[in-house]
Structures are given as structure tokens and as C-alpha cells.
Amino acid sequence: MTDGRAIPPQIQRQLSDWDKFFRRWWVYHYALGISATVASITVASNPKLLHPIPNLLETLAWLAAWRILHLACARYAADSTSPLQDLLDAAKKGCR
């Protein structure tokens, strides 16, 4: 609720900038998550038509590893019963 006073332009610009950054990072976050999911499925299915393309499956495997580590980080941060070892194991899988 407002009493009719205008928000100072500098603060209005700052709010607008924060909103733009929030939306941009939200899109990046979900785009990378969706890409990593597709990469996981592709690597798991190991389609022969992708074999002739150099380093493609390795790149997709890297994206899939990011997804595994991201989920492990989120689980560790959100669930106090999640053991540190699970997070360390996910990080180790990502280094392979």
C-alpha cells in the first residue's frame, strides 16, 4: 500500500535491474538444468549416430555430471539428514 509518494528514480532503477538479473539467472538456471537432463538421457542411451561427432558424448557427459552435482548440493543444503559423503561422492563422479 502506498500513500501516493513516488519512489525515487535511483531506487526504481535498482529494483528494475534486480528484476532483470533475477529473470536472466532464472532462465539460465532452468536452461542449463533442462540441457543437463537431455544430456543425461542422451549419454545413457549412447546413440550410434552421435559417435562420429568428436567429443560430443564427452561434452554431454560433462553436462550430465553437472546435473548430478547440482542436485547433490541442493539436497545437502536443504536436508539436514543428507550426509556429507553423498555430496563428496557426487563431486567425485563429476571428476571422472
Residue 81 belongs to a domain: yes
Q: Cα–Cα distance between 38 and 25 in angstroms, integer?
A: 20
Q: Give me the amino acid identity at 25.
A: W
- State the total domains in the chain: 1
Domain extent at residue 43: 9-94
84 CB-near residues (< 8 Å, 6+ apart)? 76
Residue bearing cell 557427459: 61
Residue 2 belongs to a domain: no
Q: Write down the pLDDT at residue 78.
A: 93
Q: Give me the amino acid identity at 4.
A: G
At 21, is the pLDDT very low, low, confident or very high (cuts 50, 70, 90)? very high
User: Residue 2 pLDDT more than 70?
Assistant: no
What are the tens digits of pLDDT across the range 25-70? 999 988 888 887 888 888 888 888 888 888 888 888 777 787 788 8
More reliable by pLDDT, 1 or 25? 25
